[in-house]
Amino acid sequence: MPRAVLPGLKKYPVKISVVSATLDTGGSAGRLRQGFKTGISFGDIRRAALALSEADVKTKNYFAYRDWDGHVAANVFCTAIMAATGSQETAVQGLKTKLKVPSQHEILPVTLDDANIFAVLENGQTIVGEANIDVPKHNGNLRIKEVYLEPKAEAYPKALKAIEEADAITIGPGDLYSSLAQILLVQGIAQAIRESKAKKIYICNLMQKHGETDHFMVQDFTAQVEKILGGSLDFVIYNKTKPDAQRTALYKKKHPELLDMVENRTLDQRFIEADLVTPYGPIAHDPDKLAKIILSLI
């Protein structure tokens, strides 16, 4: 989730390379991907560009604008460039330029290949596509046992290079299966992370999500990330603060798919607890708090 991490980190003299998920099938980005056969979706790329943008408020609001049909201006912009040039990279660079993303920062699609994520449930049923995992039409009480990509997707070479050169690699926060897994399952990505000398830091979600992480604790999230990664994490950052009941109820009313706040029940020294929640409004990670912790671990 770019807005949880990037706005805080960009205040420091660091180079940020964002490796974005590209296999969405729902929402504005997914519908444009399927309708215009762009191969990749631009939703997470858009979110990263907006989070790193140094453009004026009017420009950022324009690219974040969502029309009556649910389409976001930035997604349409990238799709139009892709349709005109046939180049996904040109579309990403065009968005970076318009939003004045500082040149030292990179926004990189995890892959340029066209693939879908599949989830196998505990009853053997297979769910096809990010959108159907994200918003389950099946029995959401059934646990996800396995996820994979089909067809296989090769990692974007610049994404592998960024991982190789990184001092720290942060994973999350984000939907475990419909978002993070579609990055880690791209061929070459997990291996590059395992082989990297960078600190590998997982930022756990604040809340459980129906259909993906029902009843999960911090260690459950961590175990699944390490399973897909095929290796160990160096640190896990998780929230210890519970917002008041009224604030939680109001947020869950708008997001009924979100269940309880995630708790931890392990003494593993890699697990770092902190107050990570914004002081008011929607229940979200505070980017400034996260940035300080991340930088202290490098």
**103 in a domain, yes or no?**
yes
| Domain hosting residue 83, numbered range | 22-109
Q: pLDDT tens string for the chain (298 positions)?
A: 789 999 999 999 999 999 999 999 999 999 999 999 999 999 999 999 999 999 999 999 999 999 999 999 999 999 999 999 999 999 999 999 999 999 999 999 999 999 999 999 999 999 999 999 999 999 999 999 999 999 999 999 999 999 999 999 999 999 999 999 999 999 999 999 999 999 999 999 999 999 999 999 999 999 999 999 999 999 999 999 999 999 999 999 999 999 999 999 888 899 999 999 999 999 999 999 999 999 999 9
**202 in a domain, yes or no?**
no
Q: How many angstroms separate the CA atoms of 131 and 234, rounded?
A: 31
193 φ, ψ to 5°? Answer: -65, -45
**240 in a domain, yes or no?**
no
Q: How many angstroms separate the CA atoms of 133 and 119, rounded?
A: 7
Q: How many angstroms separate the CA atoms of 46 and 2, rounded?
A: 9
Classify 109 as helix, strand or coil: strand
**205 in a domain, yes or no?**
no
Pairing of strands 144-150, 126-128: unpaired
What is the total count of domains within the chain?
1
Pairing of strands 106-109, 17-20: parallel
In this prediction the pTM is 0.96
**281 in a domain, yes or no?**
no
Question: Which two structure tokens, joined as six digits, stand for 219?
Answer: 């260690």
In sequence order, which residues have a C-beta less than 8 Å from that of residue 37 and are 6 or more positions away? 114
**71 in a domain, yes or no?**
yes
> CA 168 → CA 163, 179, 193, 202, distances in Å?
9, 20, 10, 11
User: Which residue type, as a one-letter code, is found at position 270?
Assistant: R
**3 in a domain, yes or no?**
no
Q: How many angstroms separate the CA atoms of 43 and 52, rounded?
A: 14
**173 in a domain, yes or no?**
no
